[in-house]
Structure 1
Amino acid sequence: MSAERERVVSELQTRAKALGFDAFGIAAADARPDLGEKLESAIAQGWHGDMDWLAETKVRRADPRVLWPDAKSVILLGINYGPHEDPMDRLKDKGLGNISVYAQSRDYHDVVKGKLKELAGLLARRADAEVKVFVDTAPIMEKPLAEAAGIGWQGKHSVLVSREFGSWLFLGAILTNAELPASAPHAESCGSCTRCLDVCPTDAFPAPFRLDARKCLAYLNNEHKGQIPLQYRKPMGNRVFGCDDCLAVCPWNKFASRARETRLQAKNALAHTRLADLLALDDAAFRTFFAGTPVKRLGSARFLRNCLVAAGNSGDSGLVGLVSGHLEHESPLVRGMAVWAARQLAPEATLAGLRRRHVEIETDSEVMAEWTM
């Protein structure tokens, strides 16, 4: 590899750090020939749930060169989003609407993409190269490529783990037709530890390094478009968006630090919002409150669905009024979970009255079924 390319990489590393990136590595575009087989196996077993886009893009996802035949190298960048408090502590307050650490701040796509574009522009100028920038915007498997680029390794929970930043790294990628010197890949360093597997409240890991999304609470309350399956409602606790359990218990987090990018630091209003306040949000208020955050993409109906499950798990009968107010919501997702939450919280006499009034006007069979489960 020419000395000129080495100088380009050095300049890129310096600029990446100045832009706020905490991790930098390079992998050859063909560094992970094993991805196709692993992805095909997961899809064949149905672990992707109703994320049909994974199956539809599996060929491109398995190899960056299918996405872009001229790609020679992939630059992987990471930004630390470490929390200022232990996410596990937030599970103890049942009246709290627990939002995953990554969604308590400005949407990372917006933050990371601008930085990536600037760095990619520098590469294009210095190496006379073509570049393409991605932050979850194309079928690229950033985590295994980041492992190949030496940034960290995919832990037994399938999330990237860093010796410096634990489980808290947002990833972005720059594909280029420039052939750049590759970093040394990172060896898997979980050892005999199984804390991430053991803590999972739904047993979503069929084996170490394998995740069945159909059982994952982060999938169920974020990607899943239907009702939360009955067997996962109690385990969901007060998690209204995402789940951090397997990330939070990783021992490598002892080296992690709080995010230094201010736009990725948790907003107090998002980190400590009460369920009562969230249940009171109509669609317009939801859009305003969560503007610029990942939560907004979920939509108010699915978010209310999640909040109603959390309300049902809260044990707080003071929420019955807010819960019953959603029994006539326009979305059957919301009405169904309002029924379930009311059944958990309301005294029998109150519940009987709610049932009589609601059954008279309900038209959705799945919602009706919630009264008899």
Structure 2
Amino acid sequence: MPKSCSDNLTIGLMSGTSLDGVDGVLAAFAADGGSPIRAIASAYIPFPDALRAELLALQTAGHNEIEREALSANALAHHYAACVEQVLARAGCSAGRISAIGVHGQTIRHRPELGYTRQTNNPALLAELTGIDVIADFRSRDIAAGGQGAPLVPAFHQAVFSQTGETRVVANIGGISNISVLGGSGNAGMLDTIGFDTGPGNMLLDAWIARHRGLPYDAAGAWAASGTVLAALLQALLREPYLAAPPPKSTGRDLFHLAWLDDKLQAFPTVAAADVQATLSAFTAASLADAIARHASGAAAVYLCGGGAYNAHLVAQLAAALQMREQDARVLSTDALGVAPTQVEALAFAWLAQRFLQRQPGNLPAVTGASGLRILGALYPH
């Protein structure tokens, strides 16, 4: 559809667990703030190596981390603002046409079992830089209500991707993988939607190839495809208790990191690095397939989004893993539903910002475990 600045417009920004950069989407909504009409324009701003390294270092306790986090938040705000500028330029829109920016921030701690989550961000600075109202801090309200604070995207998936009479799965493969199981009762049927983090997505794959080959990611899964899946190591990885825990649940770098992997590898001291990569890819596919078989056995299709949707080897492994579990679901990308895989999460935060503006709840208690529906986010006026 042609670009337009005549609709109710919101920008969504997302920088995820993969720590690669910022995705931004300008979305047009119906006048009542309902489901997105379309994504008008998008942009991607990669993180410089120094910022990525600092954000990664902030995942664990360290010297002077309060100041370091504050400075990183300021740097993030400038990158977010640059992404907004690009989105507006590509859409041919001015800042004054935008209702709000919905921004997730960069997760550096996620400990819902302890009652907190931390997304590094400076939304006040972002509002100052862009001249647009900013809505941020979406997870905290859900956690305050006893929830996991994540995943937050299943409500959005249900609103825009569900199909009456058909059970669908939307699987986001970012740093962490998560699924939304969309029941077949249509857009009004939020009660038959579940979702949770299934385990690692690209996180361990990226960390392993960075350690051994100095690359940020395994393009198309080529290095993993060159190795051999080690059955014993795969089974050791799959014994992680988190994977068998019932939802609601969420996870991140607090659990799945290189030290976690190194601990598992102590029993396999002579394995080749490429074989570990192959096994990590199989681990992501198997943990996803297990979750789908357990919670969405009647799904007609699995729609992939996130960076992992472009990993041909991983996608093939997932399809094979589903077949092994006697699941007949087709494996497609969200392109088949009209949304590019890299735009889904940013579009979700544009939608969550709209929910805030309409004073409508953005969480699903059946997904997060919160004690009820809550309006998510905090407003930082420009």
Q: TM-score range by the shorter chain?
A: under 0.3
User: Computing the radius of gyration over CA atoms, which structure comes out larger, 1 or 2?
Assistant: 1
| TM-score using structure 2 length | 0.24
Larger strand share, 1 or 2? 2
